[in-house]
């Protein structure tokens, strides 16, 4: 008996050391110079915490080995095979699995005898958050990988949304059920119903949210998986779960807030309202004539430019144009042009999406600038090249009060001397708002696939 107590003391001490390493690791992850080491440190913390837990096991070792080895194999394979362009959906998927693990932990705890009322409430909360994280992440995965096309307004979506709303009173019911069992009617199999309802609710939570709002949703789900782990820690009286889970919850929350700010919208607006329908966008009758341009002409202008700002968006990811963009950037630099990349925080489908793509194409990260860095000196830029971005460069956001995106911080490319917009067609962006940038005096439209268009410019440079 004394032996067991000793083991627990050792375990708790190692948990504290692990917690410190997690804290330092996540701090180092926030700086370019130390990020790689930070990730190693946090992996080491994970290893220590897991290893020391193995000192006192109740479960059959075979089950554990099978689970860890199989899970490790699947996780590693996915991580090694995945293309860098598929990172958003991978992160969503892994996140979902973390949520599922806490969901199962809480379920297992529910089956234990003699749970106190407080433990019962914790179990239900953990199941709810873990379950929503799991099924919500799966839907996010489906949407990001474009396997799932259902969106707002469809019949099926509405059914799931109603599950989401039903799930909230259901959560209250299952939390208070044991303490008020004499006063409220008992539903015999309420627990199984609750399990299913929770998973349905996660689907209804994410399904109506559109592609451009995905950076917010992914950060939020990330945060939720941490909070679920922290609650599981409370349930199991384990301090490292609490600390690590809370850190993840907090970091996800911060990213969520940063993303929402970058869109000048509140989180509730993003989650439950969505953009106003594009109907009112017709009010901006600033239409005029667009001036198309060919790659040849674009090349001639670029050859004489002394400073170029590249502004990528989700379209660059779709066209897989990041490598030719880097090639063009290098050729321009050889030609004596100063090249920079203006990255909007919500360009793409996850926080920092464009940064990852450009890093994959070997663009040095000190060339990547945030809107606040490039906007003040925009009028000195000779050519701004907008590649598959739309809402994040829409001047309505600064000029047109009443526009659905008014107030959103943008990259003000319209102040540059010349703007090239690479675009497939004249369709409007995710927000459904017409972009007056396309009709500006200094704007030239380069229609077609971004990869091909830039490829042609690159070819001209090489001649």
What positions carry a catalytic annotation? Answer: 391
35 binds another protein (CB under 8 A): yes
- In this structure, are strands 307-312 and 338-342 parallel, antiparallel, or unpaired? parallel
Q: Which of 144, 206, 214, 228: binder of another protein (CB under 8 A)?
A: 228
Which of 254, 273, 426, 459 lies at the binding interface for another protein (CB under 8 A)? Answer: 254
Nearer to another protein, 100 or 174 (CB): 100
Measure the CA–CA gap between 134 and 196, rounded to whole angstroms: 12
- Quote the least distance from Cβ 279 to another protein, whole Å: 33
Instruction: Give the residue, chosen from 13, 78, 184, 300, that forms a contact with another protein under the rule CB under 8 A.
Output: 78
Residue 300 Cβ, how far from another protein at the closest point, in Å?
28
Could you tell me the smallest distance in angstroms from the CB atom of residue 223 to another protein? 9
Among positions 340-379, residues that touch another protein (CB under 8 A) are 343, 345, 350-353, 355-356, 359-360, 362, 364-366, 368, 370
Q: Which is nearer to another protein, 128 or 420 (CB)?
A: 128
Q: Map residues 316-345 to x or -, x wherever contact with another protein holds by CB under 8 A.
A: ---------------------------x-x
Question: Are the C-beta atoms of 25 and 48 separated by less than 8 Å?
Answer: no
Q: State how far the Cα of 410 lies from the Cα of 402, in Å rounded to an integer.
A: 16
Binding status of residue 140 toward another protein by CB under 8 A: no
State both tokens at 267.
């989180």
Residue 364 CB partners (closer than 8 Å, separation 6+): none
Q: Report whether 290 contacts 426 (CB < 8 A).
A: yes
Least distance from another protein to the Cβ atom of residue 89, Å: 11
Kindly tell me which residue out of 258, 276, 290, 301 binds another protein, with binding defined by CB under 8 A. Answer: 258
144/161 with CB nearer another protein:
144
The count of chain residues that interact with another protein, using the rule CB under 8 A, is: 108
User: Dmax over Cα atoms in the chain, in whole Å?
Assistant: 85
* Cβ closest to another protein, residue 236 vs residue 318: 236
Dig out the tokens for 417 from the structure: 């001397």
CB of 185 to another protein, least distance (A): 27
Burial per residue of 372-382, b for 16 or more beta-carbon CB atoms within 10 angstroms, e otherwise: eebbeebeebb
The H or E element spanning position 386 is: strand 383-387
Pick from 12, 76, 266, 278: which binds another protein (CB under 8 A)?
76
The DSSP H or E segment spanning 370 is none
* The Cα angle at residue 329 between residues 325 and 335, in degrees rounded to 5: 145
Q: Say if residue 301 is exposed, middle or buried (CB neighbours under 10 Å; 0-12, 13-18, 19+).
A: middle
Taking CB under 8 A as the rule, does residue 431 contact another protein? no
CB 399 within 8 A of CB 416: no
Evaluate whether 202 touches 139 at the Cβ level (below 8 Å). yes
Please report how close the Cβ of residue 268 comes to another protein at its closest, in angstroms.
20
* Sole binder of another protein in the list 125, 174, 201, 230 (CB under 8 A): 230
Residue identified by tokens 């708002």 is 433
Nearer to another protein, 1 or 80 (CB): 80
Terminal alpha carbon distance of the chain: 81
Please state the φ and ψ torsions of residue 349, each to the nearest 5 degrees: -115, 0
Give the footprint of another protein on residues 80-119 (CB under 8 A): 80, 82, 84, 87, 90-91, 94-95, 97-98, 100-102, 104-105, 107-109, 111-112, 118
Residue 35 CB, shortest distance to another protein, in Å, is: 5
Per CB under 8 A, the list member of 123, 140, 218, 383 interacting with another protein is 218
Stretch that binds another protein, among 231-239, 381-389, 393-401, 448-456 (CB under 8 A): 231-239
Q: Are strands 383-387 and 307-312 parallel, antiparallel or unpaired?
A: parallel
């Amino acid at each position: 008996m004394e032996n067991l107590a000793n083991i627990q003391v050792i375990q708790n001490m190692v948990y504290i050391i692990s917690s410190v390493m997690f804290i330092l690791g996540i701090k180092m992850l926030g700086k370019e110079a130390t990020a790689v080491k930070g990730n190693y440190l946090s992996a080491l913390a994970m290893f220590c915490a897991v290893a020391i837990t193995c000192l006192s096991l109740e479960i059959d070792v075979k089950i554990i080995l099978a689970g860890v080895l199989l899970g490790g194999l699947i996780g590693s394979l996915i991580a090694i095979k995945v293309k860098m362009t598929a990172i958003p959906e991978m992160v969503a998927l892994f996140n979902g699995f973390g949520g599922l693990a806490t969901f199962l932990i809480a379920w297992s705890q529910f089956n234990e005898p003699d749970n106190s009322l407080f433990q019962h409430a914790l179990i239900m909360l953990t199941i709810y958050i873990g379950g929503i994280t799991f099924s919500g992440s799966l839907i996010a995965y489906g949407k990001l990988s474009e396997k799932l096309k259902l969106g707002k307004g469809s019949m099926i979506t509405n059914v799931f949304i109603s599950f989401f709303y039903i799930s909230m009173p259901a959560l209250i019911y299952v939390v208070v059920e044991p303490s008020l069992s004499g006063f409220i009617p008992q539903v015999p199999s309420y627990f199984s119903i609750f399990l299913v309802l929770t998973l349905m609710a996660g689907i209804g939570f994410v399904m109506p949210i559109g592609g451009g709002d995905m950076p917010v949703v992914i950060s939020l789900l990330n945060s939720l998986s941490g909070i679920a782990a922290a609650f599981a820690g409370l349930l199991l009286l384990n301090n490292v779960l609490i600390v690590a889970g809370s850190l993840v919850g907090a970091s996800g929350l911060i990213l969520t807030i940063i993303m929402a700010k970058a869109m000048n919208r509140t989180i509730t607006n993003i989650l439950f309202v969505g953009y106003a329908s594009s109907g009112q966008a017709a009010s901006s009758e600033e239409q005029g004539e667009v001036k198309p341009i060919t790659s040849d002409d674009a090349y001639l202008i670029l050859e004489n430019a002394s400073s170029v700002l590249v502004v990528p968006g989700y379209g660059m990811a779709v066209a897989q144009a990041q490598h030719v963009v880097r090639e063009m950037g290098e050729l321009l630099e050889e030609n004596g042009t100063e090249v920079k990349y203006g990255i909007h925080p919500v360009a793409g489908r996850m926080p920092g999406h464009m940064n990852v793509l450009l890093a994959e194409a070997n663009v040095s990260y000190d060339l990547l600038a945030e809107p606040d860095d490039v906007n003040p000196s925009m009028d000195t830029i000779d050519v701004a090249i907008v590649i598959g971005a739309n809402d994040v460069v829409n001047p309505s956001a600064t000029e047109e009060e009443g526009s659905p995106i008014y107030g959103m911080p943008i990259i003000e490319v319209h102040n540059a001397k010349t703007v090239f917009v690479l675009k497939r067609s004249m369709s409007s962006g995710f927000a459904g708002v017409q972009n007056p940038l396309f009709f500006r005096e200094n704007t030239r439209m380069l229609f077609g696939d971004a990869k091909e268009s830039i490829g042609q410019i690159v070819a001209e440079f090489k001649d």
